[in-house]
Amino acid sequence: MNPFRRLPPSSIPLPLIGHLHLLGKQPHHAIFKLYKKYGPVMRLKMGSVEGVVLTGPETLHEAFVANDQLFINRFQRDSRLIWNHGENIATSNGDYNRYVRSIALKSIVPIKIKKMEGAINQEIVGLCDKFAEIAKTGQPIDPIRYIKLCSLNIIFRFLFSKSYPYNIEDKSVSKFVDFIETTFTLAGKAFPSDFLHFIKPLFMKTAVAHQYMDANKKIGDFIETIIDERLEHFSEENEKDPKDILDAYLAEYKAGNITKQGLICIFYDLVLAGVDTSANTVSALLKLVCNRPDIQEGLYDELKALISGNPTLNDKQIAPYTNAVIRETLRRYCVVPLGIPHSASEDCEFKGYFIKKGSQIIQNINGSMLGEEFWDEPLEFKPERFMGEANQHNIARVKFTFGAGPRNCLGTSLAENELFLMVAYLFKRFRFESTTPGELIDDTMFSV
């Protein structure tokens, strides 16, 4: 690298490992501390890979919206390529990514989500009925797995036109949820072999690598079974009038535009994104309200006063406090704290700093949501920061939790609507209390 170019600030990287030693087990916490020292554009060399961390809503907007082609590519890690071969939807690049992404986007537009509202409601009612059934026994409940199954069913309705009963004892479904959770967590880890290529042969023999690959394979096998079942009965009629997202992709597969492995990897991404993100956000809110009964009372009072029957998507327009609580949960308990890394498509200058082609570009979403430069009392849970005309700009800023620009989360509209309906149903019908004395610990884990 040219030593006379102006690089983003950082500590001096160590030989071989760069700044890897600074990241620890929770990289988003370490990066937040580094951001406080080095600012919104910071160099982070991970092994042999040059990288830049970007922090702050305005900085993210400039990088991914105003200059949307500059960092449009995804950084591709070797550990992921072993599984997806660059044929998935989240980390593929170029024309292929635009093509496979466009197919899904056509099926997740707001008008189609509205048409699926009945199916979403059905799943959430099923979840609530299960909670009510358990509540009658007087036994405590761990709601998280049931919420994940509900999210799984909602995304499966969109993808495959199928769902599963709310029976955690069903080992096949329960294990599938486990595999998703394992993969979601491990996918967020910075595997050393992605940045220290000389240790790759050794690392791929470790327990962590085997656990990650095993979970990937089991999810892939599960999805492949669903694809194969549909292929047996797939017809010309399905091609002309797809009943779900799988039909839309199978038409392209039949035309020779997507491989079988590509299909599996695309649906792997769609399932993973659709299950854990929404479920973890609701889970974070449930923990919060056990510590903050005033928030729970505020939700119940608004929902009871404004919504007479079952909640609908139309009720989003008349429930400002509920919307504000959801947005504040997304901000305060960011589920994907560092996003999915991007890559510089060419040598460039950004905010006066030189960034080398191929550098890993990390969105510090966690820091952008918790920095005191961007938010008043950022560690406090204050839904009112999203209420009223004066705070409309904050609503735009919190959308960065779903990414920004042309590579943002394709299911943003679905996730927002699912979150509203799930929160509205749950807090209109139930009161949540902890069986553990004292405040629940915020144990949010780093994941992608």
Query: Binding-site residues for heme, please?
Result: 409
| Cα distance between residue 142 and residue 228, in whole Å | 34
For the chain, how far is it from start to end, CA to CA, in angstroms? 30
| Cα distance between residue 80 and residue 91, in whole Å | 9
**In this structure, are residues 73 and 382 in contact, taking their beta carbons and an 8 Å threshold?**
no
The 3-state secondary structure of the chain reads CCCCCCCCCCCCCECCCECHHHCCCCHHHHHHHHHHHHCCEEECCECCECEEEEECHHHHHHHHHHCCCCCCEECCCHHHHHHHCCCCCCCCCHHHHHHHHHHHHHHCCHHHHHHCHHHHHHHHHHHHHHHHHHHHCCCCCCHHHHHHHHHHHHHHHHHHCCCCCCCCCCHHHHHHHHHHHHHHHHHCCCCHHHCCHHHHHHHCCCHHHHHHHHHHHHHHHHHHHHHHHHHCCCCHHHHHCCCCHHHHHHHHHHCCCCCHHHHHHHHHHHHHHHHHHHHHHHHHHHHHHHHCHHHHHHHHHHHHHHCCCCCCHHHHHHCHHHHHHHHHHHHHCCCCCCCCCEECCCCEEECCEEECCCCEEEEEHHHHHHCCCCCCCCCCCCHHHHCCHHHHHHHHHHHHHHCCHHHCCCCHHHHHHHHHHHHHHHHHHCCCCCCCCCCCCCCCCCCC
Specify binding-site residues: 409
Residue with tokens 């590509």: 262
Within 10 A of 273 (CB to CB), how many other CB atoms are there?
22
**In this structure, are residues 398 and 267 in contact, taking their beta carbons and an 8 Å threshold?**
no
| Cα distance between residue 334 and residue 402, in whole Å | 10
| Cα distance between residue 365 and residue 375, in whole Å | 13
